[in-house]
């Protein structure tokens, strides 16, 4: 009689297969949890932008005015006098304060763009259809990067910081020319 042949599956192979499926299941749960976290982060960023947009706009407007006036005042002071040093220190603090907003606003935008690239580079071959759909949703949402704005007018980024510095210098030049003609 001929014995039916059984596949030769050792205990080690069975454990390896079990661990592989367990790893894939954990990975899928991680992706789905990550999808909800990404979605919540995008909603949180939108909420923060709605809440603080006008406040940050006021901060930008007043800071640019202060920059212009401070630069104008320092031009009329004696170099290295105590008043000049105090005003320059104040001017530097205002610049750093604005720079921090702009730097981290730009970094947040860049990192939110990287989400789409990271999902695209993932190995998705072993994932379920449900998990792949979640990844597609993450990619679709990440196509619109997180951006913070000031009063829905200025996007907070290093580019806006450069424009603010240029605007302040232009206003300083106008004030300087007016004082020379007066």
Q: Exposed, middle or buried by CB within 10 Å (0-12, 13-18, 19+), for 142?
A: buried
Packed helices 82-121 and 11-75: angle between N→C axes, nearest 10 degrees: 150
List the domain boundaries for the chain: 11-181
Could you tell me if 175 and 73 are in contact, meaning their C-beta atoms sit under 8 angstroms apart? no
Q: Please enumerate in sequence order all residues whose Cβ is within 8 A of that of 167, keeping only pairs 6 or more positions apart, or say none.
A: 64
Distances (CA, A) of 153 to 61, 99, 156, 160, 176: 11, 18, 10, 11, 28
Q: What is the DSSP letter of 76?
A: T
CA 96 remoteness from chain centre: 18
- Kindly state the average pLDDT of the residues 66-73: 82
Q: What is the pLDDT of residues 125-171, one digit of tens each?
A: 777 787 788 778 878 888 888 888 888 888 889 998 998 888 878 87
Looking at the predicted structure, is the pLDDT value of residue 2 above 60? no
pTM of the model: 0.69
Better-scored residue on pLDDT, 37 or 4: 37
Distances (CA, A) of 182 to 15, 76, 174: 89, 15, 12
pLDDT the model gives residue 36: 64
Q: What is the pLDDT of residues 24-44, one digit of tens each?
A: 455 556 655 666 666 677 788
Q: What is the pLDDT of residues 70-99, one digit of tens each?
A: 888 888 888 888 998 898 898 888 889 889
Looking at the predicted structure, is the pLDDT value of residue 105 above 50? yes
Tokens at 159, concatenated? 């580019």
């Amino acid at each position: 009689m001929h014995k039916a042949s059984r596949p030769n599956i050792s205990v080690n192979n069975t454990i390896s297969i079990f661990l592989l499926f367990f790893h894939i299941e954990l990975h899928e749960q991680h992706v789905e949890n990550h999808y909800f976290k990404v979605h919540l982060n995008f909603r949180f960023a939108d909420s923060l932008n709605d809440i603080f947009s006008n406040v940050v706009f006021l901060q930008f407007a007043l800071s640019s005015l202060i920059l212009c006036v401070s630069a104008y005042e320092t031009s009329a002071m004696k170099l290295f006098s105590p008043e000049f040093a105090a005003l320059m220190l104040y001017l530097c603090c205002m610049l750093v304060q604005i720079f921090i907003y702009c730097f981290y606003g730009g970094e947040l935008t860049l990192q939110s763009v990287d989400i789409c690239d990271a999902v695209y580079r993932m190995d998705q071959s072993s994932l379920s259809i449900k998990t792949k759909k979640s990844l597609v949703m993450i990619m679709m949402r990440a196509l619109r990067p997180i951006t913070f704005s000031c009063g829905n007018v200025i996007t907070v980024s290093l580019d806006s910081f450069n424009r603010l510095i240029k605007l302040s210098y232009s206003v300083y030049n106008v004030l300087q020319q007016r004082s020379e003609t007066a």
